[in-house]
Structure formats: structure tokens, C-alpha cells
Amino acid sequence: MDVGGRNLPAPCVVVLVGAGAAGKSTWAAETFVPEVIVSSDRLRAMVGAGEDDLAASADAFALLEEVVRQRIGRRLTTVIDTLGLDRERRRNWLELARAQGIPCVVVAFDTPAAECRRRNRERVKRIPADVLTGQLKSWAAVKKELPDEGYDEVLAPRAVRVVPEAFVAAAEAVQRQRDAPTQLRFGLQLGSYTHQSGRKTTGEWIKKVGVAAEVAGFDGIYVMDHFRQIPQVGRAWEDFLESWTTLAYLAACTERVKLGTLVSGITYRNVAHLGKIAATLDVLSGGRAVCGLGLAWFEQEHKAYGWEFPSVGDRYALLEDALQLLPAMWGPGNKPWHGKVLYVPETACYPRPLQDPLPILLGGSGKRTLRLAARYADAANVFGDAARVRQYSEYLANHTEPGKEPPRLTQLSTTLVGKDGQHLTELVERRRPRNQDPAKYAATVNAGTIPDQIGRFRELAEAGATEVMLSLPDLDDDLGPLETMSEVIAAFR
């Protein structure tokens, strides 16, 4: 049996097994929120005269089985707090978990018999001595059976946390970062401007964010390039700033961070004009511009602004031309440029960018996009966990011409950071939609403590990411999330 703590993936089924007075209920209450614990004692009180109403046991266990079945069927973390000494009941819970693809672990309470009896004597309402003796004898046999019953793990009652999948191996990754530190760049993505102070102070808020991001150690600030809020983030009528104008303002408010779009839709602007905009930002910012490009996907936005929304094939043709035209615009001379769909009579762009080359970041995870990134871009931005990032890294390496360095790989994710477990729980409860399971929301926003995030980012770095871009869902008038993130960033410096 394992004797250490574990991060368990959410959702999971946790079966507590042991004799009475072994400490199961106390441990469960100290480890989990009450909502996930299904307790036979509490259910006995619900259907009978109290937790000690043994005459209500049959009804209580029938109700327990139904509650467990319903919770597992909804893929909710479920902690089963009962004796757990009945093999058929354990097998049923394991089968329910397997049917839903949920990990099932046992926590085995191998408390010495003398200690169980001592605790029982101190109870106001004691377990009858002969009943406890029978439970202790059953436990002696059960603990030998548990390792062979097919659970994902059999744990001792030590520190256990149920966390999003991204953080299951975080502790080991944190230790690797301590033992052999690796560097990683951090970018802040701004995708919402509905701060509490309102529209009149938006400029001041953006300035504060930029300054605080630099102090926190962020290497770049990136903004979404849209003209109305996207449905994944908010409502269409919420305040939303134009991207390149916002970056120009941030250039005047900051001194060090890179500034870029994540990413500019290829259909939104004349490509030659986009080249001029990016070059101007690079000059005015002292060489800090990043030109993010993407295929453009938001059809409703195009219709709202009266723009044509070309087919996927036509947009890819435009994107490939743009990836070649922009470096020509930023280079010397004034020659005409011909592509598959673009023609520019004069590639005049003065002043030229200070960076040579001005970096192009291509956003998107599809194979066709990644092949374009491998051929033309300086960086490729993707979504996904460490396993997915590793696949993208290998794909880029395999599709980059011999003798040419693959583009840098950057990863974008929503990230909710808590100073500790209690703070994280408070953040999740405050920010989750009313009808959403806290664990599901936590997984959606990668909610984790400072050590959790250090572990996750270490794994992403090991998978091939050179920069991680973070959207902080709790960034509002309170700039505390940036200060909290500074502790994560410091681990990679």
C-alpha cells in the first residue's frame, strides 16, 4: 500500500475502507468538501432517528447505493464514507466508475485495533464491543484483498487532493524544476475589458495592467484581435478594444514586454496595411512587436461588419501569401510582389521594423496550419496539455526543412491561480457559473495553486513549449492575480 500523498484526477471515486472508529469520517471531512462525501451515517440519520439508528441501516444503504450511482453517472467526484468491508458493494462501485471511465481508488484505514477500541470508548454513542470486534476481524481479511481487486490505487490515509487532470503529476514536476531549473517565457493575454470601474477608466486600467505585468515578470502582453467579444468569453455587446490600437497604447505604458496580437485574423485587414501597422508598432515600441496571424474563424463577426467570409481554402491561400508578403514588406527595397491571391505593386514600408526579422506567430493547431508555421513562421501558438504540446512539437520538427530551426512553440491557456488550497477554492466558488460543477469549472480554467501551476508549466516546457500565454479569468480592477502569478514566473527565472 502506498504511504504518501496523491493528487487524484477529477472526477474520481474514492472508497474509504476500514473498521469503525478507524478515522474514516474525520479524514474525509478534513480532506474533501462536504458536497462530495456520501456518508452512510448521515443517510441513516436522514431515513431514521439518527446516525446510530441501526434499524434504519438497510434503508440508508439502499439510499447510499442510489446516490452513488447517480453521482458517478453524472461523472462527479464521489467519496464513499462507510465501512467498505462488503466486497460486493466495493465491486459494484468499481464497476460503476469503470463504466464512466472514472478512476477509482481505495483509502485503506489500517488503524490498530487497540486504537479503534480506545476511540470507541471515548464516543458518546459507542459501537457495541462485539460488533467492533467483528469489523476488525473483517478488516484483517479485507486489507489483503484490496490490492488485487483492480483499483487504480490503494492509498493510506495521507494527504490527498482531487485536482484537474493537468495537475495530477504536478508535485513531481515541481521537484524537477527545483533540481534542474529550466527557463520559460510567460505572456499575458488580454481578452476581456469589462473591468468594474467602467468605460471611462479603461485607459487607466490598461496602463495599470501593463505596468503590473512587467513588474510580475511577464515577457509579453498579447491581445485578442476581434471587433466584438467572442461567445467563448462573453456577450457580443460587452466592451471590446481594437487590438493594434491597444498595443500602441501599451507600448507607451511599458518598457520591456513584447506586444502582439493573439492572433490577427487574416481577413480583417489589407495584408500590406497590416505590415505597415506592425512595423510602426515595432518602431514606436523600441523593437517589441509580434505579428500574430490566424485563419480567422468568427463568421458572425464578419457578417456584423459587412466583410466577406471566404471559404477555408480561400483563407488558407490568403494566409500563405501573407506569411510570405509580410517579410517582403519589412525588408529593403520597393519591388512588386506576386502571390497566389495577393498582388502588391510596391512593397514600401518605411520606417522598417527595428527587429530583423519582426517575428510572426501563427496561431492554430491543425496540421495544415502547423505545416505553414514550420515553413514560414517564427512561432506557432497552440492549445492543449503537455501530451498534446509534445505531439505538436514533434510534428513541427518533422515538417521543418533540413537545416532550418523549427518555429518556437507557444501554448495558450486560461489559468486561475490560487495562493493556496483555500484561496483556490474561494476563487472557484466565486467565479464558476451557478449551474456548473466546481470540478468541471476548475478543469476548464486550469485552476491550481502556485505549486500546481509551476508543475504544469514545467511539464509544458519539457514537452517543447518555449512560452506560455495565460488568460487570467480573475483579472479585473484587482491586479492581485498578476502578483500571484509572479511567484510562478519566478520559479522559471
Domain ranges of the chain: 6-163, 170-490
Task: Kindly tell me the burial class for residue 435, based on how many C-beta atoms sit within 10 Å of its own C-beta (0-12, 13-18, 19 or more).
Answer: exposed
Question: Which triple of cell numbers denotes residue 321?
Answer: 501569401
* pLDDT tens digits along 224-281: 999 998 888 888 888 899 999 999 999 999 999 999 999 999 999 999 999 999 999 9
- Quote the CA–CA distance of 490 and 452 in Å, as a whole number: 14
pLDDT for 2 equals: 39
170-490 shares the fold of 6-163 = no
Q: What share of the chain is helix, strand, coil (3-state, %, to 5)?
A: 45, 15, 35
Classify domain 6-163 at the CATH topology level.
Rossmann fold (3.40.50)
Which pTM value belongs to this model? 0.91
pLDDT for 1 equals: 38
Q: Report the percentage of the chain scoring pLDDT > 70.
A: 99
What H or E segment, with its residue span, contains residue 162? strand 160-163
What is the crossing angle of helices 271-284 and 312-330, to 10°? 40
pLDDT for 3 equals: 37
Question: Which triple of cell numbers denotes residue 424?
Answer: 483556490
pLDDT for 328 equals: 96
Which residues of the chain register pLDDT less than 70? 1-5
Q: Which residues have CB under 8 Å from 249's CB, separation 6+?
A: 203, 206, 207
What is the crossing angle of helices 367-376 and 386-398, to 10°? 50
pLDDT for 5 equals: 62
DSSP state of 427: H
Give the Cα-Cα-Cα angle 261, 262, 266 (nearest 5 degrees). 80
What length is written for the chain? Answer: 493
pLDDT for 147 equals: 96
Which of the four CATH numbers 3.20.20.30, 3.40.605.10, 3.40.250.10, 3.30.70.3040 does domain 170-490 have?
A: 3.20.20.30
